[in-house]
Amino acid sequence: MLTPGQAHDVQGFAPLFRMISDRIEAFLADRGYDANAIRKEIEAAGVEAVIPAKVNRRNPAPHDRAKYKWRNLIERLFNKLKNWRRVATRYDKTKESYLGFVALASVKLWIPFVHET
C-alpha cells in the first residue's frame, strides 16, 4: 500500500489491515497506532495488538514486549531499502514504477539470505 509522503501512517491502516487480518496472529506497530478505534478493529478481527501505549494514555493497554522486539527487523528492512536513493527520494512519477523498483530492491536484499556464495 502506497500513501502520500506527507500522510500519517494511520491513514493507511484500515485498508492495509483488512487485506492482511485473516493471515496474521499479531499486529506489531509503534505508539503512533495507539488509538481506541485501531485497537477495537484489531480486536474485532481476533488479532493480538502488540502496540505500546502512548505516554499520555490514561489506561495503558499491556503489550507483549517479546513480540514487540520483532518489529526491529521490519524497521531495519525499511532502513536498508532507503539506502537505495531511488526508493528514499521517490524519483518515479508513477506508483507502478516506484513499487516495481521497491520489489527489485527487496529481491536484491533477499538473495544473500537464500544463496550462499
**DSSP-derived secondary structure letter, 6:** T
Indicate whether 63 and 89 sit together in one domain.
no
Query: Can you read off the three cell numbers belonging to residue 11?
Result: 491513514
Indicate whether 27 and 57 sit together in one domain.
yes
pTM value > 0.85? no
Asked whether residue 117 is assigned to any structural domain, the reply reads yes
Mean pLDDT of 72-87: 91
pLDDT confidence of residue 4: 74
Q: Where are the alpha helices (DSSP H) in 1-94?
A: 13-20, 36-44, 65-68, 71-81, 85-89
What would the pLDDT profile of 31-70 be if each residue is shown by its tens digit? 989 999 999 999 999 999 999 999 998 888 888 889 989 9
Asked whether residue 1 is assigned to any structural domain, the reply reads no
Count Cα neighbours of 96 within 13 Å in the Cβ-side half-sphere.
0
**Would you say 30 and 51 are in contact if contact means Cβ atoms under 8 Å apart?**
yes
CA dihedral 80, 92, 9, 7 (to 10 degrees): 140
pLDDT confidence of residue 10: 80
Q: Quote the Cα angle for 71-21-90, to 5°.
A: 60
Indicate whether 48 and 65 sit together in one domain.
yes
**DSSP-derived secondary structure letter, 8:** -
Domains identified in the chain, total number: 2
Residue 100: domain span: 72-117
Asked whether residue 2 is assigned to any structural domain, the reply reads no
Under 8 Å CB-to-CB from 2, ≥6 apart: which residues?
A: 95, 98, 99
